[in-house]
Amino acid sequence: MTAISIDRVSRSYGTVRAVDDVSLEVEHGEFFTLLGPSGCGKTTLLRMIAGFADLTAGQIRFGNKRIDTLPPHRRNTAMVFQNYAIFPNLTVGGNVAYGLRARGVAEEEMKVRIARALRLVHLDGYGARWPHQLSGGQLQRVAIARCLVIEPEVLLLDEPLSNLDAKLRVEMRAEIRQLQQQLKITAIYVTHDQEEALAMSDRVAVMRAGKLEQVARAQDIYRAPATPFVAEFMGTTNLLTGTIAGRDGEALRIRVGQREFRAIGNARDGESVSFSLRPETIRLLDTGEAPPPGWSVVEADLGAVEFLGAISRIELDIGDGAMLRVAGLDLLPDQLKARGRIAAAYDPRRVTVFRE
Ligand SMILES: Nc1ncnc2c1ncn2[C@@H]1O[C@H](COP(=O)(O)OP(=O)(O)OP(=O)(O)O)[C@@H](O)[C@H]1O
Ligand SMILES: [Mg+2]
C-alpha cells in the first residue's frame, strides 16, 4: 500500500532549483531514507512533506488524499529535527505533552499517552526532569517521544543523530529502527551518512543537486549502483575508466592503460566506459596461489599501506598513474612488503560497468 506519493515535485529559491522534478512513492510502514551531499535538497523535500515549505510545482498525496495544500497540523506528520528543538522552559513531560495540548486531548488520556511515549524511548520516569538535565541522546529521545505521542501517520526525521557522538549515534540508529519496526510507522529519514542509511533503511533515494540519482533497496544501492556518483557516494570504491577491447566468454575486456580488467556487463567494442570495483571485494593472492574459479587477476606494485587494525587500506599501483584501493582483512603491512609484486584477484561479476 502506498503511503506517500511524491509526484513531480519542485521547489526553487530564486534561481536555485533545490528540488527539481522529483517523483517517488513510499510504501506503508517503510523506512525510507533520503541520502545525499550537503545542499542536494534533502531538507527541502522533507519540509515540503511536513508542510513547512511550499511546492513550486507538483503534488504530494498520502494514500489518495492530496496533502500539499493542507497546513502542517492537518497532515498527520511529525518531524524530528537535527537540533532537537526541545522547549527549554518546559519539563520533559511538558515537551511531550505539547502536541497533545494543541490537539485538545483530555488531561487523563494525556498522562497515559505521555507515559507510554516516554517508555517507548526508554525514558520512563523522566517526565519531571528539565531539558538542561539531560544528555544529547536523551534530548533526542524526548524529541522522538514528542513526535510519537501524537501517533502520526508519517514520521519525518532530518539528520536527528548528527549532533551526537559516534558511539551514541550507532546506538540511537538501532533504537530508532527498532521503534519504527515495532510501531510499523512510515518513516522518511534524512542523512548524509551513507553507513547510517545502509544500517537503517528499507529503501534509499540518493539525491544529487535536487534530483534523484537512484532509488533502491539499501543493499542494491551499494551492490548495484546506477551511476558513478552513487558508486562513489556509497562507501569507497575504485572508479576506473577504460576502453572495451572485446570479450572473453561472457566477460567484457576493459583496457586501462597497460592493464586489462574483466567485467560482466554490456558495452560495444571500442566504447569508453567507467567501472566500479569495491576495495573489499579484491583479494590479494599469496605467491603462487591460484585465484578462485571465474575470478580475474591484475598484477600491481605495492603502494601505500595504512594499518587500521581489523583492516588495512592498501594502494596498488597498476601503472599509468592509476591506483587500485584494496581493503585487506587481518593483514600486517610487513607481510605485504616482503612480497614485492602483488597479484590482486577479483570477481568480474562484482564489477559494475557504467556507459556514458
Ligand atoms: N530558505 C531558503 N532560501 C534560499 N535557498 C535555500 C533555502 N533553503 C534551501 N535553500 C537552498 O536549496 C538547496 C537545497 O538545500 P537543502 O537544505 O534542502 O539541502 P540539504 O540536502 O538538506 O543539505 P544539508 O545536508 O547541508 O542539510 C541549497 O542550495 C540551499 O542553499
Ligand atoms: Mg538538510
- Domain map of the chain by residue range? 2-233, 238-355
Residues constituting the chain: 356
| pLDDT for 337 | 82
User: 343 C-alpha vs ligand 1 centroid, how far in Å?
Assistant: 46
CA 199, 205, 208, 213 torsion-angle sign:
positive
User: 18 C-alpha vs ligand 1 centroid, how far in Å?
Assistant: 6
Is the model's pTM score more than 0.85?
A: yes
| pLDDT for 2 | 74
Ligand nearest to the CA of 41: 1
Which residue has a Cα nearest atom 2 of ligand 1?
13
Q: Convert the pLDDT of each residue in 286-314 to its tens digit.
A: 888 999 999 999 999 999 999 999 999 99
| pLDDT for 253 | 98
> What's the CATH architecture for 238-355?
Beta Barrel (2.40)
Q: Are the C-beta atoms of 189 and 157 separated by less than 8 Å?
A: yes
Place of cell 506528520: 77
What is d(CA 295, CA 293) in angstroms, rounded to the nearest whole number? 6
Q: Are the C-beta atoms of 347 and 319 separated by less than 8 Å?
A: no
Ligand nearest to the CA of 44: 1
Question: Ligand 1 within 6 A of 42 CB?
Answer: yes
User: CA distances (Å), 152 to each of 67, 144, 148, 204, 325, in order?
Assistant: 14, 11, 7, 22, 45
Q: Which stretches of 51-124 are DSSP H helices?
A: 92-102, 107-120
| pLDDT for 165 | 84
Ligand 1 atom closest to 192 (CA): 25
| pLDDT for 321 | 86
> What's the CATH architecture for 2-233?
3-Layer(aba) Sandwich (3.40)
Which residue has a Cα nearest atom 26 of ligand 1?
38
| pLDDT for 1 | 67
Place of cell 510507522: 185
Comparing C-alpha atoms, which of 227, 40, 72 is closest to residue 154? 72
Those residues whose C-beta lies under 8 Å from the C-beta of residue 129, and which sit 6 or more positions away, are 91, 92
What is d(CA 64, CA 158) in angstroms, rounded to the nearest whole number? 25
What is d(CA 151, CA 87) in angstroms, rounded to the nearest whole number? 20
Comparing C-alpha atoms, which of 67, 68, 66 is closest to residue 19? 68
Give me the tens of pLDDT residue by residue for the chain, a chain 356 residues long. Answer: 679 999 999 999 999 999 999 999 999 999 999 999 999 999 999 999 999 999 999 999 999 999 999 999 899 999 998 887 899 999 999 999 998 988 889 999 999 999 999 998 889 999 999 999 999 889 999 999 999 998 899 999 999 998 888 888 898 899 899 989 998 999 999 999 999 999 999 999 999 999 999 999 999 999 999 999 999 999 999 999 999 999 999 999 999 999 999 999 999 999 999 999 999 999 999 888 999 999 999 999 999 999 999 999 999 999 888 999 999 998 888 888 877 789 999 999 999 999 97
Question: Ligand 1 within 6 A of 13 CB?
Answer: yes
